[in-house]
Amino acid sequence: MVVELMGFDDTGGERGGVDIVAVLDVSGSMWGEKLEKLKTSMKFLLKKLDPIDRLSIVTFESTATRLCPLTGMNKNGQDKIEKLIDELDADGGTNISSGLQTALSVLAQRRHRDGRTTAIMLMSDGQDRPSTVDVSSVPVYTFGLGRDHDSQLLQDIASKSDKGTYSIADVEGSDSASLNIAFSSCLAGLLSVVVQDLKLTITQKESEILKVSAGSYDQDRVNESVTISFGNLYNREKRSTTVFLSLPAVEDRTAMDILKIAFSYTPSGGGRLFRSPPIAATVTRTRSPVTEDPVEVVNEKARGNTAAAIEEARKKADANDLPGARNTMKNAEESLNSLGREADELIKALKYEVQEFLRLLKDSDTYLKEGRAFALSSELSHKLQRFAARGDATQLVALGIPLVIEFVNQAVKFDKDPNFKVSSANEDKKRVAQKTAEEDRIAAEAKKKRDEQIQEAIDEIGKKEKKEDFIKNNPLVTQADTLKEHLDQAIKSLEAIQNLVVALQKTT
């Protein structure tokens, strides 16, 4: 079964502030259009931050420089940092480790940190030595710009951090997302954190837990319970945990508590730890299985299978087996098509991922320049169940949260017109809340209908099993077919005799 948690806060209330350190590559390879794209993206980010938020800029080439400490994003703070952005220049080599060390130092020097969301946003377009900097205590969101960036290095940094993602942008000659879209979609999450230190505990009841699948999140198993640590959760972001169970056989239809579920978290912005009361997961058991899975289970299976296929294909391509990699992705595509769920937004997003990776596997050159980065970004994104920009990000927004969609739409317009009036994050949140309220109503009605259909299937199986039991427990019923056959033969014999008598009467 699938246990799903969703962050939820559409009240429009006060949120906790964010502390972001933007670590920007200004090496010589960034000269020209890349640097201009970086400046545009940073200016969009500035417009989305509120006075409660703080931003620090760290640049790196051969060495790193802190351009400013964490600065409150009131009008004066925004103007100050915008001026620093305008003055950025490109020169020198690439030293990502130095940039990370400087960013960690900025965060370590904070005096006010309670309840605040922290993040490092690291952008680079080049190659570097593997980083030995310990970033496990803070999320590092990495962004690879162009075809020549070190995809393995940036993915490693993100995956070794505290649940950071790896995005790719502006790959020349492709339909990749702009750097502005990549930055803005990451920011949409950071500005909508609703809970921190989220933990889910699943305890077996009338069942045996065989395996728990929750991506790359830490699991701790003690006796009959498994606890998964998810960290922060954005507003309307979901965490799905697939639980594989062994259930005892049943002879009669019965309701059974198979799991006990509990969760805990700290509210965004600080506050007391909240612990939920235990929730019993109850299912109706029958001897025969109900073959129709709920949509949530189907979708999570599809997402997990697709992510596994991308990782398998990437490993084959790394071993120079491009035909095998393409075959793996074609099988994944056929599997998604067999679901017959073309209208489902998640399935459409998964199909796009599969088709895009297939395109990037057409030859070794395309794979090495674009395909490998796409796969590495996708793998980490699915392991965290968190959106990361790759390819045409507008095709993947179903994997994100509603605020991501809002930010991405505005980022596209801002790319085309820097004078486009960008609304505040609070305005965006209110607009999204109004839109999602109607979507929630429609989804609730659809779920109710699906649940009724599954219940009808269970009832039908129950009737069938009841009939089977009645026949089994009544010997005369089991002989009904034989008696019916004898009666049919007797009736036919009587009809033949009657016909013979009529014929004799006519003769006499």
pLDDT tens digits, one per residue of 140-180 = 999 999 988 999 999 999 999 999 999 999 876 666 778 99
pLDDT at 206: 93
CB atoms under 10 Å from CB of 76, counted, come to 11
**Bridging pattern class, strands 117-124 and 18-25:** parallel
Distance CA 371, CA 195 (A): 35
pLDDT under 50 in the chain at which residues?
A: none
Tell me the one-letter amino acid at 49. Answer: L
pLDDT given for residue 11 in this prediction: 65
Give me the CATH code for the 2-193+297-441 domain, please. Answer: 3.40.50.410
How far is the C-alpha of 115 from the C-alpha of 267, rounded, in Å?
8
Helix axes 402-416, 425-473, angle to 10 degrees: 140
Closest CA to 39 of 24, 60, 20, 56: 24
Strand 274-275 to 254-267 pairing = antiparallel
In the block, which residue shows the tokens 């109607």? 438
| 0.75 surpassed by pTM | yes
For residue 87, what pLDDT is reported? 96
Domain boundaries defined on the chain:
2-193+297-441, 195-288, 479-507
Token representation of residue 217 = 């999140």
What is the three-class DSSP state of 433? helix
